[in-house]
């Protein structure tokens, strides 16, 4: 979408001329509407490119600077929003979303009797049976709207029309032909007219050689008759689904447009017709003073059986039960005209008129989605679901992933190749023509590279190797995917088989390396090297894909053939454009699935056993912890009792010593009670010679002798009075080397 055209259409119906959307604002608007601006492409216009090329000759620097680059917006649209495929529909939806205009009402033009008819002939029923049509009256197109009309048809042809196989669109200048119109089928030799953008007439047979029409020729080329639409004078309007006629080509001065849509699916045809009519009816006019737009004149289609139907159907769909009155304004922003039902307001019944452009509205949930978009997804509170479901991969896929990770960790590079290949890839190039008997063939392959479903992973690996010949050697490639084999016992006549294929390419064959990978894979699968039927071994085998004497069959448990391992035949190597020797391992892994399931069940059993053991150990730990807690409480109580004993003994001894001091002081006050054998130092003389007369400092006073005696008699006095703690308490209360009392546990200190 061109940026300038997009802004032009957004600007046309704005209230203020100064309104202009910057790129960021435009991107935010798209995001709020539920769309995404995927990319902005800047490319030079043809004028600027020519000016730059001939700048020195015809264009000066000033004129060149006035030329602008062309900006193209790539917008990611939902697949079911066909009304957003053109600028008219997108700009209209955005303006309605911003409440800058109301949803349009599509009106029928003219009387109740249809002026235009399309009569279906019997010979067309077996080719392209359905046709619908409509007329846009009083159209005024400019260059941009004309280009948009053509572009919308192309987008619809590539989208819902499935490259014209389901639906084909034709637009014509109604003023150049006369109705009624006839939709029939004619032989190619009898069908002659001037095709679009041609200057002379051609027969249908001659047109089949036109390279421009080649993409659509397979739709009718094998038919005996080709569809054609003529007017009452025999003028060819179109040969659907191939090309329109030049006679009815739309010009900028075209005022009345006839739209005819032929199809093999009537529902798709009506959707396409409604989309075109709704998008370009905005350019219609009734020619009166009120200048009413969105006028559509229906066309009556008369079927072979005589039934008559008018198209398009402009009626709306109503009767959706919604809950909130606020939804009226929200749905109006989404181009869904909504109002409270007049007769049942008390039931909160909303009347939603779905325009013909909204073919994606199929159910109430589609209306609810538009309500959520208008309300704003960012405003909706995020909540966790009430219930959770945990997905688990299938055992085969889980086993595949485990092998994939370990093989990659061993230094091998995984490739992802196409599941389809050519016939020669699995037969001639591998020197095994019988492989085609097992191959599922594509009935109508698009290219020669996609003719059959692969029966071996080896061709894909060899092609990947041929595309990477410039990479440094050695090359280690592997792939673990499905191959498709015919199986008459299966419901669909074929089955998938999961295989592992690996190759080693270097200047030497490196068979020992590929053999080492085989051993590693078997080790991962828990399969031992033995010939007793429980493990695997390799035995000589003759396979034309491999070099004579350099191929071995891999025999698995119970004698099952798992695959091949060996050195490729030189003819196979050269057939894929390679020149270096290659060793290959090609095995199936499905026989190991049961063994994997057994290992998985064993692992789950051991895991549950370990969890139960952990729970038992945890319960034992909790019991031991409760026992330790009880012991700590007991020791704390003992510690409190011991502290109380100490306090009592200290009070008793203090009281006894005070009484003794008072008694003996009154008796020996001022008397010498002892002689010291030495003269004490000066700062002790104040105690030893206290209250004594004379200068003989060897005389000892009572108070000094009393202090010395109490220091030695305290413990004996405590025992004598019955206040001394037991020896066990003394041992518990003794501090250890670090100053803390000893503890029976590592987490408890008696002195806390």
Q: How confident is the model at residue 12 (pLDDT cuts 50, 70, 90)?
A: very low
Same domain, 91 and 134: no
Q: For residue 155, what are the contacts with CB-CB under 8 A and spacing of at least 6?
A: 85, 86
Same domain, 141 and 275: yes
Euclidean distance between CA atoms 199 and 605, whole angstroms = 83
pLDDT of 410 strictly over 50: yes
Query: What is the pLDDT at residue 740?
Result: 44
- The tokens for 338 are 């909504």
Closest CA to 437 of 426, 422, 429: 426
Which comes out higher in pLDDT, residue 444 or 4? 444
Closest CA to 744 of 724, 728, 723: 728
pLDDT of 725 strictly over 70: no
Query: What is the pLDDT at residue 750?
Result: 30
Of 14-23, 154-163, 500-509, 712-721, which gets the smallest average pLDDT?
14-23
Residue 193, in any domain of the structure:
yes
Q: For residue 602, what are the contacts with CB-CB under 8 A and spacing of at least 6?
A: none
Q: How confident is the model at residue 691 (pLDDT cuts 50, 70, 90)?
A: confident
pLDDT of 249 strictly over 80: yes
Euclidean distance between CA atoms 51 and 63, whole angstroms = 9
pLDDT of 19 strictly over 60: no
For residue 550, the domain's CATH number is 3.30.930.10
Residue labelled with tokens 């084909």: 168
Backbone angles phi, psi at 92, to 5 degrees: -65, -45
Euclidean distance between CA atoms 335 and 321, whole angstroms = 18
Q: How confident is the model at residue 749 (pLDDT cuts 50, 70, 90)?
A: very low
Euclidean distance between CA atoms 681 and 255, whole angstroms = 136
Residue 387, in any domain of the structure:
no
Which comes out higher in pLDDT, residue 227 or 622? 227
Q: Is 568 helix (H, G, I), strand (E, B) or coil?
A: strand
Residue 599, in any domain of the structure:
no
User: How large a percentage of the chain has pLDDT more than 70?
Assistant: 83
Using alpha carbons only, what angle is made at residue 321 by residues 316 and 327, rounded to the nearest 5 degrees?
Answer: 85
Same domain, 456 and 559: yes
Same domain, 113 and 223: yes
Same domain, 183 and 251: yes
Query: What is the pLDDT at residue 748?
Result: 34
CB-CB contact of 521 with 592 (8 Å): no
For residue 89, the domain's CATH number is 3.30.56.10
Residue 745, in any domain of the structure:
no
Determine if residue 21 is left, alpha or beta; phi over 0 gives left, psi from -120 to 50 gives alpha, anything else beta.
beta
Of 293-307, 557-571, 708-722, which gets the smallest average pLDDT?
708-722
| Average pLDDT score over the chain | 81
Strands 192-193 and 582-588 turn out to be unpaired
Query: What is the pLDDT at residue 5?
Result: 64
Residue 538, in any domain of the structure:
yes
Query: What is the pLDDT at residue 516?
Result: 92
Using alpha carbons only, what angle is made at residue 592 by residues 587 and 598, rounded to the nearest 5 degrees?
Answer: 170
What would the pLDDT profile of 438-472 be if each residue is shown by its tens digit? 899 998 888 888 999 999 999 999 999 999 888 98
Residue 524, in any domain of the structure:
yes
Residue 233, in any domain of the structure:
yes
Residue 388, in any domain of the structure:
no
Report the run of H or E that residue 310 belongs to, with start and end: strand 308-311
- Answer whether the bond into residue 474 is a cis peptide, omega within 30°: yes
The residue among 69, 97, 125 that closes a domain is 97
What would the pLDDT profile of 256-307 be if each residue is shown by its tens digit? 999 999 999 999 999 999 999 989 888 888 655 455 678 889 999 999 999 9
Same domain, 237 and 336: no
pLDDT of 423 strictly over 80: yes
Number of domains within the chain: 5
Same domain, 127 and 239: yes
Euclidean distance between CA atoms 546 and 121, whole angstroms = 63
pLDDT of 22 strictly over 80: no
CB-CB contact of 169 with 248 (8 Å): no
Backbone angles phi, psi at 729, to 5 degrees: -65, -40
- Number of Cβ within 10 Å of residue 694's Cβ equals 8
Domain of 645 in residue numbering reads as 631-733
pLDDT of 322 strictly over 60: no
Residue labelled with tokens 């197109």: 141
Same domain, 669 and 717: yes
Same domain, 471 and 556: yes
pLDDT of 666 strictly over 80: no
Per-residue pLDDT averaged across 87-97, rounded?
Answer: 88
Of 93-97, 589-593, 747-751, which gets the smallest average pLDDT?
747-751
- Answer whether the bond into residue 97 is a cis peptide, omega within 30°: no
Per-residue pLDDT averaged across 342-363, rounded?
Answer: 73
Highest mean pLDDT: which of 263-272, 354-363, 593-602?
263-272
Same domain, 684 and 545: no
| Beta-carbon-side half-sphere exposure of residue 125 (alpha carbons within 13 Å) | 8
pLDDT of 203 strictly over 70: yes
Per-residue pLDDT averaged across 566-592, rounded?
Answer: 92
Same domain, 431 and 456: yes
Closest CA to 321 of 364, 357, 359, 282: 364
pLDDT of 539 strictly over 50: yes
User: How large a percentage of the chain has pLDDT more than 90?
Assistant: 32
- The tokens for 171 are 């637009």
Same domain, 129 and 12: no
Highest mean pLDDT: which of 196-200, 405-409, 669-673, 701-705?
405-409
| Beta-carbon-side half-sphere exposure of residue 559 (alpha carbons within 13 Å) | 0
What is the DSSP secondary structure assignment for residue 317, as one 8-state letter?
P
Query: What is the pLDDT at residue 33?
Result: 86
Q: How confident is the model at residue 649 (pLDDT cuts 50, 70, 90)?
A: confident
Which comes out higher in pLDDT, residue 694 or 482? 482
pLDDT of 724 strictly over 50: yes
Q: For residue 57, what are the contacts with CB-CB under 8 A and spacing of at least 6?
A: none
Per-residue pLDDT averaged across 706-725, rounded?
Answer: 64
Which comes out higher in pLDDT, residue 189 or 392? 189
Closest CA to 29 of 94, 114, 107, 110: 94
Euclidean distance between CA atoms 498 and 403, whole angstroms = 12
Query: What is the pLDDT at residue 343?
Result: 57
Radius of gyration of the chain (CA): 49
Using alpha carbons only, what angle is made at residue 408 by residues 402 and 414, rounded to the nearest 5 degrees?
Answer: 100
């Amino acid at each position: 979408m061109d940026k300038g055209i997009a802004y032009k259409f957004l600007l046309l119906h704005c209230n203020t001329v100064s309104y202009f959307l910057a790129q960021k604002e435009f991107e935010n608007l798209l995001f709020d509407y539920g769309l995404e601006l995927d990319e902005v492409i800047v490319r030079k216009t043809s004028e600027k490119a020519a000016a730059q090329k001939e700048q020195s000759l015809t264009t000066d620097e000033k004129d060149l600077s006035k030329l602008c680059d062309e900006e193209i917006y790539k917008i990611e649209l939902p697949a079911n929003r066909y009304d957003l495929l053109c600028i008219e529909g997108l700009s209209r939806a955005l303006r309605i979303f911003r409440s800058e205009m109301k949803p349009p009402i599509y009106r029928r033009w003219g009387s109740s009797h249809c002026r235009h008819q399309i009569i279906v002939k019997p010979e067309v029923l077996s080719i392209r049976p359905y046709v619908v049509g409509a007329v846009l009256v009083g159209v005024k197109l400019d260059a941009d709207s004309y280009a948009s009309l053509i572009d919308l048809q192309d987008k619809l042809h590539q989208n819902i029309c499935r490259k014209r196989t389901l639906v084909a669109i034709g637009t014509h200048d109604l003023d150049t032909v006369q109705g009624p119109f006839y939709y029939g089928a004619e032989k190619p030799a009898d069908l002659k007219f001037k095709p679009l953008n041609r200057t002379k007439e051609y027969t249908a047979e001659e047109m089949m050689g036109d390279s421009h029409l080649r993409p659509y020729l397979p739709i009718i080329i094998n038919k005996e008759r080709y569809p054609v639409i003529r007017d009452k004078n025999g003028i060819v309007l179109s040969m659907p689904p191939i090309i329109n006629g030049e006679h009815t080509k739309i010009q900028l001065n075209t005022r009345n447009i006839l739209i005819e849509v032929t199809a093999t699916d009537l529902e798709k045809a009506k959707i396409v017709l409604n989309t075109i009519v709704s998008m370009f009816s905005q350019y219609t006019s009734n020619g009166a003073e009120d200048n009413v737009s969105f006028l559509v004149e229906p066309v009556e289609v008369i079927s072979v059986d005589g039934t008559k139907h008018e198209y398009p159907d402009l009626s709306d769909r109503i009767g959706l039960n919604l809950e909130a009155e606020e939804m009226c304004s929200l749905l109006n922003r989404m181009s869904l005209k909504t109002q409270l039902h007049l007769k049942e307001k008390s039931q909160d019944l909303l009347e939603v008129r779905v325009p013909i452009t909204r073919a994606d509205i199929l159910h109430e949930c589609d209306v609810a989605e538009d309500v959520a978009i208008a309300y704003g997804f960012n405003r909706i509170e995020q909540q966790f679901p009430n219930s959770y479901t945990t997905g688990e991969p299938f055992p085969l896929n889980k086993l595949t992933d485990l092998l994939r990770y370990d093989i990659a960790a061993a230094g091998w590079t995984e490739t992802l190749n196409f599941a389809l290949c050519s016939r020669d890839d699995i037969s001639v190039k591998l020197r095994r023509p019988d492989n085609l008997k097992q191959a599922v063939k594509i009935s109508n392959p698009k290219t020669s590279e996609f003719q059959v479903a692969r029966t071996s992973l080896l061709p894909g690996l060899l092609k990947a190797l041929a595309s990477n010949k410039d990479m440094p050697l050695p090359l280690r490639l592997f792939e673990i995917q499905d191959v498709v084999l015919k199986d008459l016992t299966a419901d669909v006549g074929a089955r998938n088989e999961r295989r592992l294929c690996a190759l080693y390419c270097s200047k030497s064959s490196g068979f020992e390396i590929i053999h080492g990978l085989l051993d590693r894979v078997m080790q991962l699968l828990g399969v031992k090297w033995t010939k007793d039927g429980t493990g695997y071994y390799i035995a000589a085998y003759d396979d034309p894909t491999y070099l004579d004497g350099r191929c071995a069959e891999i025999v698995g448990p119970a004698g099952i053939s798992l695959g091949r391992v060996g050195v490729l035949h030189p003819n196979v190597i050269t057939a894929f454009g390679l020149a270096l020797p290659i060793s290959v391992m090609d095995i199936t892994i499905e026989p190991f699935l049961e063994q994997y399931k057994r290992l998985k069940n064993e692992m789950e059993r051991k895991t549950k056993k370990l969890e139960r053991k952990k729970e038992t150990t945890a319960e034992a730990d909790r019991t031991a912890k409760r026992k330790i807690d009880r012991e700590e409480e007991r020791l704390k109580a003992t510690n409190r009792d011991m502290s109380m004993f100490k306090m009592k003994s200290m009070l008793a001894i203090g009281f006894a010593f005070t009484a003794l001091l008072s008694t003996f002081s009154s008796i020996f006050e001022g008397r010498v009670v002892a002689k010291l054998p030495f003269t004490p130092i000066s700062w002790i003389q104040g105690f030893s010679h206290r209250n004594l007369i004379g200068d003989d400092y060897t005389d000892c006073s009572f108070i000094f002798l009393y202090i010395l005696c109490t220091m030695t008699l305290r413990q004996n006095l405590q025992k004598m009075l019955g206040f001394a703690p037991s020896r066990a308490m003394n041992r518990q209360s003794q501090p250890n080397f670090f100053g803390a009392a000893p503890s029976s546990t590592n987490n408890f200190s008696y002195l806390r």
